[in-house]
Structure 1
Amino acid sequence: METTEPQIVLGTMDFGTRVEPDQAFAILDSFVAGGGVWLDTANCYSFWNDPSGVGGASERVIGAWLRARPGARDSVRIATKVRQNPLVAHSWPDSAEGLSARAIHAGVEASLERLGVDHVDLLWAHAEDRAVPLEETVGAFGELVAKGTALRVGAANHAAWRVERARSLARERGVEPWTALQLRHSLVQPRPLTPLAEAGHRMLTAEDLDLARSEGLAVWSYSSLLWGSYERADKPLPSTYDHPGTTRVLDALDDVAGDLSATRNQVVLAWLMRQGIDPIVGASRVEHVEQALDARAVRLGDEHLTRFAEAR
């Protein structure tokens, strides 16, 4: 089941809130049946859509699905995150748990209980916490790997220099370093230096890719399909994407999709995977999963990559 080839990752952020458990079960079943492996969740998903005002719904749904599907744990790899779950209901970011050693250990313990597992395959630091010494955070993540509670650890929404500093500290302490990055990335890009409307999102940069390729780090992208904006007229791109480059790239996307008899979404996912990036795809219907997994068969040639590069 393990592979170094880029994979489609199933994003489960809305499970248990905007996506009802029975529909989530159908999506998970379809994903596994189609050869999907990685599930991406977080302990804070999705407190902003949950009447309780705290996270945990997504992990609980995955845990219920695992219990209802004997043997399913052997078919999937689970990635979850700590850092952002509110400790006080309806009080974020003021009560976000942070990345102290105590918060990390407590957060993971609660995640394991909700998931009904004894370990996760990848644990992410969901965002930076500069109120806590990086040495403390690195040490706590290393302890979890040493205990087998997390098999790998990674950094989401972190600056490249912080990741490299953390990796250096891990080497000095003799603990497992972060070996994966998760950042926002897609084919079309917002205007440079324009603040994003989504709080906490960090865009993938050339520096991040340089670090990943030089150090052999995995790269996962979120918001890979920009909330359906590539294909749905009722989901227009945010205003930060309103610039001439977007128009040119979308025209090129239509040309390439026509050449390959693929959908816009499938070409975008294939473009990400061609760069060695594992795209996270959220789904609210089974057909979304099926379409995403079919992107693995879309083969972009060098001429297609050149067409996109020249359109930017």
Structure 2
Amino acid sequence: MMNIALGAMEYGTRIGEKESFALLDAYVDAGGEWIDTANCYAFWHDPSGHGGQSEELLGRWFAQRPGVRDRVKLATKVGCEPLRPGSYPEHTEGLSAQAIDAALETSLRRLGVDHIDLYWAHRDDRSTPLEETAAAFGKHAAAGTIGRLGLSNYALWRYERMRGLAAELGVMGPSALQLRYSYLQPRPLVRDHTHDHRFGWITDEVLDYAATNPGQQLFAYSPLMSGAYENRPDRPIPEAFTHPGTIRRLEALTAVATDLDITPSEAVIAWLTTGTPAITPIIGISTPTYLQTALNGAHLQLTPEHRAQLGEVW
């Protein structure tokens, strides 16, 4: 099994149906399993100001590909759908029991499936008691419409508290945590402000937590930083990553990629997927070239020497 997930965020909006179907077909034919989306994708591309386009496209793909649903693991999210056009991020559906019930029903209908393999809370909702959120997810897990629960963009202490509350309630707790992560590291004082979610970066504490709790899986989004590793003039390295450590890490990455005759992005994917703990990168695949990069990286096994070369430079 390849330890990557295909990010379908812009399928059905920026990426058209024909192109999306071709990428999905090629991904599954190559042995890919995880497909990741969200009920709010991609509201920013649609004149309505609401999401659902990615789920609807995947639903059409499943309908036209008999048997393919049994070959994939499907993940979607709840919590960030805008309540009205232009209201994100201040006013979104949140994670109340009512919101979760309604969103899950809608996602199942759009996707044309009877269960979600991994259902994510898209971001923390501090206005709703964790007990209510845990109970709502647990109810759907008991009914079989959720296979696993994951939390995205959560502080680690909130994640662990949710696990404890779920245990007290006798319901399924989270077993996956999704945050942003990549080979390059932002400056510590700005790592929580590289996007609009307060807690969005896998820190050393999170890595230690996952390494000592084997049942907890880490997923990383934006692992390739929108193509910044390929030295493209139109995709510069973000300002938050411009510090001396980045220079040293890029030198190590370039040396390993050159030695193995691969691209830096392929080396980054291999570094993520074979580490301790192993991290599942969610890769937004928009072209056949990007798909091949993801597949190459997922199949690559770095030697201990190459891992040491990459991992010992900070």
TM-score range for the pair, normalised by the shorter chain length:
over 0.9
Q: 187-196 or 154-163, which moves further after superposition?
A: 187-196
Aligned to 1:267: 267
Q: 190-199 or 166-175, which moves further after superposition?
A: 190-199
8 Å CA contact retained: 1:34, 1:290: no
Aligned to 2:283: 281
Aligned to 2:254: 254
Does the alignment pair 1:129 with 2:125?
yes
1:6-52 CA deviation, whole Å, 9 max, x = no partner? Answer: 61100011111111111100110110011000000000111112211
SS of the aligned residue for 1:288 comes to helix
1:187-238 CA deviation, whole Å, 9 max, x = no partner? Answer: 0011111153421160001221222232220111000100111113321111
Aligned to 1:292: 294
Does the alignment pair 1:45 with 2:41?
yes
Aligned to 1:211: 209
Q: 195-204 or 32-41, which moves further after superposition?
A: 195-204
Distance in 1 (CA, whole Å) between partners of 2:203 and 2:249 is 18
* Stretches (4+) displaced over 6 A: none
Q: 266-275 or 291-300, which moves further after superposition?
A: 291-300
1:91-149 CA deviation, whole Å, 9 max, x = no partner? Answer: 21233000101101111111111111111100001110011100000111111100011
Query: Post-superposition shift, 1:294?
Result: 1.5
Distance in 1 (CA, whole Å) between partners of 2:30 and 2:222 is 21
One-letter amino acid matched to 1:88: R
SS of the aligned residue for 1:230 comes to helix
TM norm structure 2: 0.95
Distance in 2 (CA, whole Å) between partners of 1:226 and 1:36 is 21
Aligned to 1:229: 228
Query: Post-superposition shift, 1:310?
Result: 3.1
Distance in 2 (CA, whole Å) between partners of 1:284 and 1:294 is 16
Aligned to 1:307: 309
Query: Post-superposition shift, 1:305?
Result: 2.2
Could you list the runs of 5+ residues in structure 2 that have no partner in the other structure? none
One-letter amino acid matched to 2:282: I
1:247-268 CA deviation, whole Å, 9 max, x = no partner? Answer: 1111111100111121111100
| 1:1-312 equivalence runs, <5 A | 7-194=3-190, 195-200=192-197, 202-215=200-213, 216-231=215-230, 232-275=232-275, 276-312=278-314
One-letter amino acid matched to 1:304: H
SS of the aligned residue for 2:40 comes to coil
User: Relative contact order, CA 8 A, sep 6+: which one is greater?
Assistant: 1
Distance in 1 (CA, whole Å) between partners of 2:245 and 2:194 is 19
One-letter amino acid matched to 1:282: G
One-letter amino acid matched to 2:62: L
SS of the aligned residue for 1:79 comes to strand
Q: 45-54 or 189-198, which moves further after superposition?
A: 189-198
1:243-298 CA deviation, whole Å, 9 max, x = no partner? Answer: 11111111111100111121111100000011211111101112211221111232
Quote the sequence identity (%). Answer: 49
One-letter amino acid matched to 2:193: L
Distance in 2 (CA, whole Å) between partners of 1:213 and 1:104 is 30
Distance in 1 (CA, whole Å) between partners of 2:90 and 2:159 is 24
SS of the aligned residue for 1:121 comes to strand
One-letter amino acid matched to 1:203: W
CA RMSD across the alignment: 1.3
1:50-101 CA deviation, whole Å, 9 max, x = no partner? Answer: 2110110110111111111111111111100000001212221233000101
Distance in 1 (CA, whole Å) between partners of 2:255 and 2:90 is 47
8 Å CA contact retained: 1:31, 1:290: no
How many positions carry a matched residue from both structures?
Answer: 308
One-letter amino acid matched to 2:96: S
